[in-house]
Amino acid sequence: MTEPDAGVMSAFVARLDAGGGAFFAKGTPTTAPDAWTYRHEARVIKYVPMAPLPKWETNGGGWTFYGYSVVPGRHADFTLGSPDLGPVAEVLTLLSGTRWPAAVGKRPLRDRLAPFIPEGQGAALAGSALAHTDLGEGNILVDGGTARLVDWALSCPGPAWADAALWVPRLIAAGHQFREADALARLVPAYAKADPAALGTFARTIRAFWQHRAEEAPMPHRAVLLTAAVEWESCAA
């Protein structure tokens, strides 16, 4: 058994090497308040391109465990000049063309962010694409010029451009200026074609979201993302 070195929020997570092969396993107490996120990920990941494949599910001792195929690679690097930026744009392009699976019920991104959307502008966030919504470097693995997204617990229906847009403040936090981050996001056609007014509304929404999170439970990474979101909001249309 090998424990991952970063990007872990699960109650239990490890790589398991057994006679039947290697698996990436996640586990949670079955009655934990966030156990639904594990169930949701196991359901939606079946429909996701370039993601770990679900292999098994088991219950015992008050815990539920999920096994996935092992995805090779290292965590993505978003910094200036990184060779990972192109592969990330490619996987976001692929994802933007994937519809949310009708078999998986989940409230859309617009509803999740409703408290932070400027009044009367919720229509800008409507969409039925499959959105990951948690694009930290630790949730993207790069191997041989190919990027894959992991950790789908926060996935939901959203605009086709949502993940590319959410990449912008992550890029700013990694040291890019807004114009550089925006240019990289525009490698994703859905973002390049998006209504500038909708992107502006989204930028204001995400800034309000991170401000709330930073005030509610201050953490260093939330402060960094808030600063990046403020810059994004000030530069977006």
* Residue length of the chain: 237
Mean pLDDT of 29-41: 93
State pTM to two decimals: 0.92
Which domains are seen in the chain, by residue range? 12-68 (3.30.200), 74-235 (1.10.510.10)
Bridge partners, 143 (sequence order):
146
User: What is the C-alpha separation between 207 and 106, in angstroms, rounded?
Assistant: 23
List b or e across 48-58, with b for residues whose CB sees 16 or more CB atoms inside 10 angstroms: bebbbebeeee
Mean pLDDT of 79-101: 97
33: buried, middle or exposed (CB in 10 Å: 19+, 13-18, 0-12)? Answer: exposed
User: What is the C-alpha separation between 138 and 146, in angstroms, rounded?
Assistant: 15
Does residue 212 carry a pLDDT above 80? yes
Q: 190 phi and psi, to 5 degrees?
A: -60, -35
Helix, coil or strand: residue 86: helix
pLDDT digits (tens, 9 = 90+) for 186-199: 999 999 999 999 99
Is residue 191 within 8 Å of 185, Cβ to Cβ? yes
